[in-house]
């Protein structure tokens, strides 16, 4: 059904980095008001990319295995960031050390991935609804109630390209398998669902970028910037954001763990290595690794939008992974 491809496209974008606000700050909000316009551009590309992903696999057979390895690497980096976000949340809420918090998050994620993925799928719609409400309410109340702060950053052309095209590219790359599976056999309905899911995630992205940009340097150094805004608005709202971060992180972590096992084999081995990487911290991973992933994924986005360039070399691989 169309809603399945819509959820697949939406859920792949709205993960822990998104709900925490850190990746939105790095790509968009740090550029101030201009960042909101960049987020809007990325929103349109998210919809377009999800739509094209539902249409075709976009890679010739000899390229697909290479890109599968790249996706596994992306998934591992993202999993590490998710575990770091959960560790930061556990430290902020319960005073748990980041090392222990990350270890607990990695262990729980591995257990869920092995035994609880069916339950996650059943409750995914409700979890996404909570995430949407938490982000949207925090963004709207933050814009209305909190004073605006000036940001001194100017946007260089390369930064703008990386923000708009790079952000869309690596999120679509991570969403590609799920979107293709959900859209298989659905025809135009599946493609429209993917388009709507990508655009919906982009709209939420634009709202979040707007409130983070208004908050300026107040949230620049925070691991979980959206939580900081929620705390400034109301304590109860912060609890809702924390719950949304936790649920989004759990759902995303299980998915990324499964994909990352293509690199390291076992679930527990992959979870353990991701825990070690998560000790670098949310900011170190998101601020440095995510832009690098965005640059790499730009190649994939170009092939997705203009698949004819690769089709001349042997035609698109319509089997997917």
Tokens 């390369």 identify what position? 158
pLDDT bin (cut points 50, 70, 90) of residue 102 is very high
**Is the per-residue pLDDT at 260 higher than 70?**
yes
Nearest to 98 by CA among 89, 107, 110: 89
Which contacts qualify for 214-218: CB closer than 8 Å, 24 or more apart? 214/142, 214/143, 214/146, 214/148, 214/149, 215/29, 215/142, 215/146, 215/149, 216/32, 216/148, 216/149, 216/150, 216/151, 217/149, 217/151, 218/149
* Mean pLDDT score, 125-152: 86
pTM for the model stands at 0.86
* Mean pLDDT score, 294-309: 67
**Is the per-residue pLDDT at 230 higher than 90?**
yes
The per-residue pLDDT for range 103-137, each reduced to its tens digit, is 999 999 999 888 866 767 777 778 888 889 999 99
The per-residue pLDDT for range 186-215, each reduced to its tens digit, is 788 888 899 999 999 999 999 999 999 888
CA dist 305 → 48, 55, 187 (Å): 8, 11, 18
Percent of the chain scoring above 90 in pLDDT:
42
* Mean pLDDT score, 292-319: 61
Domains in the chain and their CATH numbers?
2-309 (1.20.1740.10)
Collect all residues with Cβ–Cβ distance below 8 Å to 110 and sequence separation of at least 6.
257, 267, 268, 271
User: Residue 315's pLDDT is what?
Assistant: 45
């Amino acid at each position: 059904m169309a809603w399945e491809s819509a959820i697949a496209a939406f859920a792949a974008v709205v993960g822990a980095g998104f709900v925490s606000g850190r990746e939105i700050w790095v790509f968009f909000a740090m550029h101030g008001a201009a960042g909101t316009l960049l987020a809007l551009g990325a929103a349109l590309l998210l919809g377009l990319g999800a739509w094209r992903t539902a249409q075709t696999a976009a890679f010739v057979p000899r390229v697909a295995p290479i890109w599968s390895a790249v996706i596994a690497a992306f998934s591992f980096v993202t999993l590490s960031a998710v575990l770091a976000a959960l560790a930061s949340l556990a430290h902020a809420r319960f005073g748990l050390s980041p090392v222990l918090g990350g270890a607990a998050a990695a262990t729980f994620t591995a257990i869920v991935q092995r035994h609880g993925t069916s339950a996650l799928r059943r409750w995914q719609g409700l979890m996404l609804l909570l995430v949407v409400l938490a982000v949207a309410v925090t963004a709207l109340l933050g814009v209305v109630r909190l004073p605006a702060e000036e940001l001194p950053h100017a946007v260089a052309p390369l930064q703008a390209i990386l923000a708009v095209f790079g952000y869309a590219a690596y999120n679509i790359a991570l969403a590609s398998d799920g979107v293709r599976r959900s859209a298989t056999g659905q025809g135009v309905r599946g493609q429209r669902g993917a388009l709507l899911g990508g655009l919906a995630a982009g709209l939420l992205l634009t709202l979040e970028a707007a409130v983070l940009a208004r908050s300026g340097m107040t949230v620049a150094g925070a691991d979980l910037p959206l939580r900081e805004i929620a705390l400034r608005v109301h304590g109860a709202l912060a609890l809702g954001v924390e719950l949304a971060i936790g649920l989004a992180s759990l759902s995303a972590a299980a998915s990324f763990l499964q994909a990352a096992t293509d690199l390291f084999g076992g679930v527990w081995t992959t979870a353990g290595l991701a825990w070690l990487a998560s000790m670098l911290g949310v900011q170190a991973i998101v601020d440095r690794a995510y832009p690098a992933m965005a640059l790499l994924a730009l190649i994939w986005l170009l092939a997705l939008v203009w698949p004819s360039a690769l089709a001349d070399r042997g035609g698109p691989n319509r089997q997917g992974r």
